[in-house]
Structure 1
Amino acid sequence: MKLSSSLSAAQFVAAVMAFGAHNEPPKGVVGPTENFDWADPFHDHRLVNKLSPACSIERTFSANEFQLHDLYEHDPKGLWAFGDVLKTIFQGRPYPGGWDGLDPHMYDRPLLYMNYSDMPIAVREWIEEGERVPENLDDEDEADKKKREARKNLFAVFERPMEPMKKVTKTVTPPKTAAKAAQLRPLDAKRVVIFAPGALYGILPLWVAEAAESKAEGTAGCNGKLLRNLDVYAPKPKDGGTIAWVTEHTEPNRSKGERAMKFTVKVQTLQAAGAAKIGGDKDEL
């Protein structure tokens, strides 16, 4: 079976499910993900003399990493319970990419599986806002519509399967308002989320914003409100901007049937080199 790299994520899921558990999946050629705008900013020449971090923060998260050909495998080695519904929710959406903006193009494409409650609240709020349909679509201008559609279905949130041989048939519908979602946060412990690694990169600052707001260790001088502002987050370093990257991601020991892994998010807010930091100190990269 030959697959075109231009197929949507849903078409790949369908092809994998049809391929079957007893066939060795073919390998794809790893290449750059189409329309992936992000790149590792921490080796940019502008950071050597022109810019320095006003804030630098790292956080590590745990997840399970599967591949598309794991969709016919049952838990804990695969995502069989979610296979059918994933075909539906990914319909028409290009695969967002693997790690570092690379795409294996075929059955080795990675998918991450996390407990929804393990995601920072800022990330959950962003996901829910993108899935929440505005009360009056007629009032939504074209720019806002494009932004909402661009983030829709990047992260698929499900109720955790309670029976081992039961298929999941739908995603979780977010509450109609952010205030109602805040009241229902305890329900997040019963939910899971599935997404491609490439979906992370557009919102990496949100993964550390909560730690900054709580003034956790290693966040001195970091402004959580600024980290939540994705308007100043960009692929290239600039004065007053925010940069981020997944600086490390472990690989699960698939030969032993394991899927557990970890990934580390690094985020910096930038200022002109030599400018006074909050607190009066200066910082160097």
Structure 2
Amino acid sequence: MKVDSGLAAAQLLSVAAAFGAHNEPPKGVVGPTENFLWAEPFHDHRLVNKLQPACSIERTFAAHEFQLHDLYEHAPAGLWAFGDALKTIFSGRPYPGGWDGLDPHMYERPLLYMNYTDMPVAVREWIEEGERTPEDADDGEQSEDDKKTRAARKNLFAVFERPTEPLAKVAKTVTPPKTAAKAALLRPLDAKRVVIFAPGALYGTLPLWVAEAAGAAGAAESKADGSGSGNGSRCDGKVLRNLGLYAPKPKDGGVIAWVTEHTEPARSKGERAMTFTVKVQTLQAAGAAKIGGDGRDEL
């Protein structure tokens, strides 16, 4: 019997209410997530003789990791305030997966909780664009492919207003502004918001998590060497924002990424804080010259 359907997720959420802090929920069997496209790329044999990194960048993020049976526990050990709303959201799509494309199934499925402002703006923009209806989209007429792409993004990341009172329930997610321009003007409101998602939702967006850091590093590099050119062996933030270059399999001119490390929260102590590290590389044919910060070829 498959357990990855939206209906199964909703059923699990309903039953999760029966398990409290003193009741040990049943464990599921860990297995691969159905339809998970990604795999750890940095040890692919093609990188040894055919490809080499043109640039590499890592960034670590702070989050809180909960499990499915924590949804009906009060904060800080659980996500009680969001439980009912998440039940509605999860019923609309399969569980995206846990870490490394694995799914613990049942009540140990992980969920991440972050302050929305701790998520890079590039990721926030991607989420909001996916949540807009086709009629609200910035690019006018929507092809069937565009509609399918947007539908695949929906409900991957649930953005909520932070509860204003300790026992307040959050009934629904935040509706994104109708245009990216308006969203940019309203960014100060992000400080009042949080986002909840499964670890598996990360993998389709990983280059976006480091794109801003890459752009900042490149600007500093250009300023330091006085060139102002932005050329160098660093990662180009604009390239990393182009998810069309990002693929599960390494290729010349492509972008690869993975969550290389994630810490475990001290659950036995009631703690949920953790970190995860995103590593991203752009690739080029082995033996190709890199362009140094002074504009010279580096072999």
Post-superposition Cα deviations, 1:36-78, rounded to whole Å, max 9, x if no partner, equal 0100000000001110111100000000000000011100000
Alignment map for 1:1-285 (pairs within 5 Å): 5-8=3-6, 9-19=9-19, 23-135=23-135, 139-215=141-217, 221-279=234-292, 280-282=297-299
TM-score by length of 1: 0.94
Letter paired with 1:31: G
Q: Distance in 2 between matches of 1:114 and 1:54?
A: 31
Q: Distance in 2 between matches of 1:4 and 1:239?
A: 37
Kindly state the Cα deviation for residue 221 of structure 1 after the two structures are TM-superposed: 1.9
Structure 1: any 5+ residue segments left out of the alignment?
none
> Please, which moves more after superposition, 33-42 or 273-282?
273-282
Q: Distance in 1 between matches of 2:16 and 2:261?
A: 28
Letter paired with 2:184: A
Q: Distance in 2 between matches of 1:6 and 1:211?
A: 35
Matched residue SS, 1:59: strand
> Please, which moves more after superposition, 5-14 or 135-144?
135-144
Post-superposition Cα deviations, 1:126-151, rounded to whole Å, max 9, x if no partner, equal 00000011337893221111100001
Q: Tell whether the 8 Å contact from 2:136 to 2:178 is kept in structure 1 after alignment.
A: no
Paired-residue identity, %:
79
TM-score by length of 2: 0.89
RMSD: 1.9
Q: Distance in 1 between matches of 2:79 and 2:270?
A: 13
Post-superposition Cα deviations, 1:178-203, rounded to whole Å, max 9, x if no partner, equal 01110111111110000000000001
* Count of matched residue pairs: 280
Kindly state the Cα deviation for residue 22 of structure 1 after the two structures are TM-superposed: 5.2
Q: Tell whether the 8 Å contact from 1:54 to 1:278 is kept in structure 2 after alignment.
A: no
Letter paired with 1:202: G
Q: Distance in 2 between matches of 1:198 and 1:148?
A: 17
Matched residue SS, 2:291: coil
Kindly state the Cα deviation for residue 17 of structure 1 after the two structures are TM-superposed: 2.2
Distance 1:220 1:187, change over 3 A: farther
List, as ranges, runs of 4+ consecutive aligned residues in structure 1 with deviation greater than 4 Å: 18-22, 216-220
Letter paired with 1:153: N
Q: Distance in 1 between matches of 2:26 and 2:207?
A: 36
Q: Distance in 2 between matches of 1:110 and 1:177?
A: 32
Letter paired with 1:173: T
Kindly state the Cα deviation for residue 26 of structure 1 after the two structures are TM-superposed: 0.2
Structure 2: any 5+ residue segments left out of the alignment?
222-231
Q: Tell whether the 8 Å contact from 2:65 to 2:111 is kept in structure 1 after alignment.
A: yes
Letter paired with 1:150: A
Kindly state the Cα deviation for residue 20 of structure 1 after the two structures are TM-superposed: 5.3
> Please, which moves more after superposition, 79-88 or 212-221?
212-221
Letter paired with 1:145: K
Q: Tell whether the 8 Å contact from 1:21 to 1:72 is kept in structure 2 after alignment.
A: no
Post-superposition Cα deviations, 1:68-92, rounded to whole Å, max 9, x if no partner, equal 0001110000000000000111223
Q: Distance in 2 between matches of 1:212 and 1:167?
A: 38
